[in-house]
Amino acid sequence: MVAWLRRLLLFSTPAKVTRHHPAPWRPSPFVPGARYRVRRDFAGPRNAFSEGEVLTYRGDCYSPYDSYTGYLFTQEGDERFRVWDVHDEEDTNIWRKLFEEVQG
């Protein structure tokens, strides 16, 4: 992983993040500020997600070096980012099998 991306994710909270990294090349399937429930347990390169967790989508980042788009989430009571990484060759439509939007 690129050093600047690692620093951003390790030392930043949602209130401190500014876009100092390349914008993703594809549109996000998530809405900033919307809440999403994890539909089933799964793990990505950086974080594991557990069925039933409710997360708030905060934004995205892109690493051209690694060819990954990172979708950043937080969980209530914990301001650290949880990141779902999707490689350029993967289809983001799989998000519907992993997450569901929480209404209200």
Per-residue pLDDT of the chain (104 residues; tens, 9 = 90+): 445 455 555 444 444 444 556 777 788 999 999 999 999 999 988 999 999 999 999 999 998 888 899 999 999 999 899 999 999 999 989 999 999 999 97
Q: Which CATH architecture has domain 3-7+31-102?
A: Roll (2.30)
Contact 57, 37 (CB under 8 A): no
Indicate the pTM of the whole model. Answer: 0.77
Query: What gap in Å lies between CA 56 and CA 95, rounded to an integer?
Result: 14
Of 29, 24, 27, residue with least CA distance to 97: 29
Of 40, 42, 38, residue with least CA distance to 57: 38
Domain ranges in the chain are 3-7+31-102
